[in-house]
Copies of this chain bind each other. A is one copy, B any other.
Amino acid sequence: MEKGKIGTKTLEEKRDESIQKILHAAMEVFAELGYEGARVDEIAKRSGVNKAMIYYRIGDKGKLYEEVIHYVFGDTVERISKNIKDELSPEEKFKVYLENITKTMAEHPPLPRIMMREIASGWTNFSEAIVKDISGILVIIKGIIDDGVRKGVFIDINPIVVHLMAIGTILLFNLSMPVRQNFYHLLEGKIDVPKDASFEHILPDIEKMMLRALKA
């Protein structure tokens, strides 16, 4: 067999694969239990990688967490800003923005939890880079609103307010899913109670509310 190859994978591919497995497992565990609650043993177990390997490949628990944060928030800006084409109307741009946030969270289930924990911890682990990322998103949403204001379709409102509102609402929606059923019986008699309270079904409500709030 060719040197440097294992099966059909190069050593490098194998290493990358290990790192991927570790990061995925770590992401899950950190999301479920938080930084302090997470156990390196558990991460090793879930990733199917020897514990010492984690130290060898990535580093200590803190470094591992940093990597996870980086991994999780890595392309968030790109994702959120994706498809916000210039030729779209401000409303359409805003919808794409909301949908992208929603989709990003749906595709990375640990993301909302890690985000909330990080915020609750005082953004301690949000590195300069991530703060810059968030700035990037703020610039985008500012652009959308400015455009709307110019075109007379949006009111003039602080984009930070808008973004926090969007993120806060979506986060809470996302994470309240498991307990939301407990509350629906309170709403008997309301026509529009969705039997399926899943995230996708409620996104339109959020969109509707936010656009109503924004529209001039």
Contact residues of A with B, CB < 8 Å?
31-37, 112-114, 116-117, 119-123, 126, 131, 134-135, 138-139, 142, 155-162, 164-165, 167-173, 175-176, 178-180, 182-184, 186-187, 190-194, 202, 205-206, 208-210, 212-215
Contact = CB atoms under 8 A, between A and B. Distances in A.
What 3 pairs across the A-B complex have the smallest Cβ distances?
Answer: A168-B168, A168-B172, A36-B36
A210 B214 CA distance: 10
A179 B123 contact: yes
Nearest to A194: B158
Number of copies of this kind of chain in the complex? 4
B173 A168 contact: yes
Contacts of A214: 209, 212
A113 B124 CA distance: 13
Nearest to A184: B160
Contacts of A162: 209
Contacts of A179: 123, 126, 131
Contact of A135 (B35, B176, B183): B183
Contacts of A158: 187, 190, 192-194, 202, 205
Given A31-B120, A156-B190, A158-B190, 16 more contacts: A34-B121, A114-B120, A116-B119, A119-B175, A122-B178, A123-B178, A123-B179, A131-B182, A138-B183, A139-B186, A156-B191, A158-B192, A165-B206, A168-B169, A212-B214, A212-B215
A75 B143 CA distance: 42
A171 to B, nearest CB: 6
Contacts of A173: 164, 168
Given A34-B34, A131-B179, A160-B180, A209 B165 contact: yes
A171 B170 CA distance: 12
Contacts of A164: 169, 172-173, 176
Select the residue from A138, A187, A190 with max chain B CB neighbours within 10 A: A190
